[in-house]
Amino acid sequence: MIRPHGSEKLNPLFVSAEPERSDLVREAEQLPSLLLNSGAAANAVMLGAGYFNPLAGYMNKANAMAVCDTMRTTDGLFWPVPILNLVPDVSGIATDSRIALRDPNVEGQPVLATMHVDAIETLEAREAEHIAQRVYGTRDPAHPGVKTFLESGRFIVSGPLRVVNFSYFKTEFPETFRTAVEIRDEIGDRGWNTVVAFQTRNPMHRAHEELCKMAMEEVGADGCVVHMLLGKLKSGDIPASVRDAAIRKMAELYFPVNSVMITGYGFDMLYAGPREAVLHAIFRQNMGATHLIVGRDHAGVGAYYGPFDAQEIFTREVPSDALEIEIYSADHTAYSKKLNRVVMMRDAPDHSVEDFVLLSGTRVRELLGSGIAPPEEFSRPEVARILMDYYQSLPKN
C-alpha cells in the first residue's frame, strides 16, 4: 500500500486506548481551557484522524510563513497550507503550560484535545495579509476563506496535541465519517491496491459519477473512495446530511458491488483553490489512495482561480518527489447528445456547447426547488428526488 506522507507509518494523534483516553479527559477538566474556532477544531480532528500526518500539532509562526513562501516547513517537510490555531485572546493560557482545547461546535463545549503550549506569538496584520495572499491567492475579504482567516484572531498558539474525540463528526455521521486509519484498513480488507479518491463538497450528479468510473478504468483502479467534506461550508451550500444521502443512493444503484467506498472527513472548507488541492492530495495519500481526481475549479470559489489552476500547481510548483499520490487531471464532464453518453469535453473536440446537456447551478436549484427533476442525462432520478425534497423544505422567500 502507498506510504503515508512524510513517514513510514501513519501516526494519528487520537488517543484510542482505554483507560488512557478517559483518564486524559478527566485530567483535561482541571487544565486551563482554550475555546477553539471552528477551523482550528477541524484541524484538531484532522490531526487526530491521521489525515495531517506527520504533523504533531499546530504550527508556529515560522513554520506558517515558511509553508506560505516555500511550501515546506522549517525542517523541510513538504506542506502547502499552514495548520494553525488562531485565537483572539490568550489571557488564560501561558507558554510551557498544558491546556484543554474545547470544541465550539458541540453543545457544552467538551474537551477536544489537550495541548502543550510551545509558543504564543502575535500575527501582525501585514503577516496575516501575506498568508492570505500566498495561500488563497487574494486578500479580498469577500473570499469566504480569507474572511474566516482574517477574523480568526491575531495570536498563534502552537504545540503538540493529544486528541480525545472527533467532535460532532462521529456522532452526526456515524456511517460516513472515517479516519485515515480506518480507510487504510478497509482498503486493505477489500484487497484494493490501486485506489482513486474523489473529493466532493456537493452532491454527485451523473457527470461526477461517470468521472469516477472513467478515472478508475483509465488507471486500472480496484476501487474508488468517494470522500466528502462533512465540516463547515459557505452559506448556500447543501448540508452534509443531504449530500450524504444523495451520494449513497447513487453509489447503491449505479456502481458495481465492492467498487466504491462512501466516506467523509471532518474539515472546514478553505476554498483555497490550488493550495487546498495539494492539501487534499496529502490527506488522500495518508488515507491510502494512489490517485486523486482533480477536476475543473477544484476547491475554488467565485472567479478567484482559473479553471485548471488546481491541476497546474502540481506540475508548476509541487516538486516531482514531494508526493507519492498521482493526480488524475479531469476536464469538465457532461452528457453528449451526439454520443449518448457522458464524456470529458476535451475528448469531444467536434462538439459545440449545444451538443452537451449543461445546466448552471442556479438553474438546477430553481428546478429542484420547483419540484422538477433535471434531465436524466444530468442527474439520476433517485438523486434528484432527495435533492428536490431538501430544496422544497426550505423556507420560501
Residues 160-180, mean pLDDT to the nearest whole number: 95
- What's residue 123's pLDDT? 97
Contact yes or no for 43/152 (Cβ under 8 A): no
Catalytic residue status for 201:
yes
Residues 19-26, mean pLDDT to the nearest whole number: 96
Residues 6+ apart with CB under 8 A from 9: none
- What's residue 119's pLDDT? 97
**Which candidate in 102, 162, 184, 201 is catalytic?**
201
Is residue 234 scored above 80 in pLDDT? no
- What's residue 397's pLDDT? 63
Q: What is the DSSP string of 203-231?
A: ---HHHHHHHHHHHHHHT-SEEEEEEE-S
**Which candidate in 202, 248, 365, 385 is catalytic?**
202
Tell me the percentage of the chain whose pLDDT exceeds 90.
88
Tell me the residue ranges of DSSP E strands in the chain.
33-35, 57-58, 86-87, 98-102, 111-116, 119-122, 155-163, 195-200, 223-229, 260-265, 291-294, 326-329, 333-336, 341-344, 356-357
pTM of the predicted protein model: 0.94
- 181 pLDDT band, cuts 50/70/90, is very high
Domains located in the chain, CATH noted: 20-167 (3.10.400.10), 175-265+271-393 (3.40.50.620)
Is residue 178 scored above 90 in pLDDT? yes
Task: Report which of residues 366 and 41 the model is more confident about.
Answer: 41
Is residue 236 scored above 80 in pLDDT? no
Residues 287-310, mean pLDDT to the nearest whole number: 94
- What's residue 113's pLDDT? 98
Q: What is the CA radius of gyration of the chain?
A: 21
- 292 pLDDT band, cuts 50/70/90, is very high
Catalytic residue status for 105:
no
Polymer length of the chain? 397
For 358-397, the pLDDT digits (tens) are 988 889 888 988 899 999 999 999 999 999 999 888 887 6
Distances (CA, A) of 48 to 43, 53, 58, 112, 130: 9, 9, 12, 10, 28
Contact yes or no for 357/377 (Cβ under 8 A): yes
Lowest model confidence (mean pLDDT) among 107-116, 140-149, 232-241, 284-293 = 232-241
Is residue 161 scored above 90 in pLDDT? yes
**Dist CA 337 CA 352 (whole Å):** 11
Residues 195-203, mean pLDDT to the nearest whole number: 93
